[in-house]
């Protein structure tokens, strides 16, 4: 389906703030409430809108340390990679996991309270995954860009 400029504007407004009111959206896209409601219903039924979530402030929850972890696994077979992915999904500190090309097989985004928490996570959780051959940890010093918004323009 081809999206027009009004659909893209609606999607952009909703992805930036899921709590934005239909009244606010209608004013910004120049649609009355009924056509706006129908467009949002259509976008939802076509799976452009997946779910509404709240974004939490990690520092308010005492998750002060963000670590990016690059992982190489022992074997590159589908079974070994699947085994790693199944294990990594069980670890709550891992909030993102990407299967990538290049020098490493996976990149992880991990949150921890502090360096001691990360040390415990690294030695007790990651090290227990037998298929890991090598890991490198990168401690994030500053978040320059952090958004959940997709580029729609």
Are 31 and 72 within one domain?
no
Mean pLDDT rounded to a whole number for the chain: 94
pTM of the complete model: 0.86
pLDDT of residue 87: 96
- For 49, residues 6+ apart whose C-beta sits below 8 A from its C-beta are 11, 14, 40, 43
CB 38 within 8 A of CB 2: no
Q: Is residue 76 pLDDT above 80, yes or no?
A: no
CA distance 48 to 24: 20
- Identify the domain containing residue 27 by its residue range: 5-45
- List pLDDT tens digits, range 110-149: 999 999 999 999 999 999 998 999 999 999 999 999 999 9
Looking at the structure, tell me whether residues 131 and 74 fall in a common domain: yes
Residues 34 and 79 in one domain: no
The reply to whether 19 falls in a domain is yes
What's the domain count of the chain?
2
The CATH number assigned to the domain holding 102 equals 3.30.70.920
Give pLDDT, residue 137.
97
Q: Are residues 73 and 121 in the same domain?
A: yes
Strand, coil or helix: 143:
coil
Is 42 a residue whose pLDDT tops 90? yes
């Amino acid at each position: 389906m081809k999206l027009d400029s009004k659909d893209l504007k609606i999607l952009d407004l909703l992805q930036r703030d899921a709590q934005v009111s239909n009244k606010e959206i209608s004013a910004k896209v120049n649609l009355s409430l009924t056509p706006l409601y129908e467009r949002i219903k259509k976008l939802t039924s076509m799976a452009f809108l997946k779910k509404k979530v709240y974004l939490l402030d990690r520092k308010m929850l005492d998750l002060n340390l963000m670590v990016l972890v690059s992982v190489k696994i022992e074997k590159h077979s589908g079974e070994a990679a699947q085994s790693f992915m199944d294990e990594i999904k069980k670890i709550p500190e891992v909030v993102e996991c990407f299967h990538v090309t290049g020098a490493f097989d996976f990149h992880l985004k991990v949150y921890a309270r502090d360096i001691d928490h990360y040390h415990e996570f690294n030695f007790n959780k990651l090290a227990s995954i037998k298929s890991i051959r090598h890991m490198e940890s990168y401690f994030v010093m500053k978040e320059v860009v952090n958004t959940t918004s997709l580029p729609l323009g």
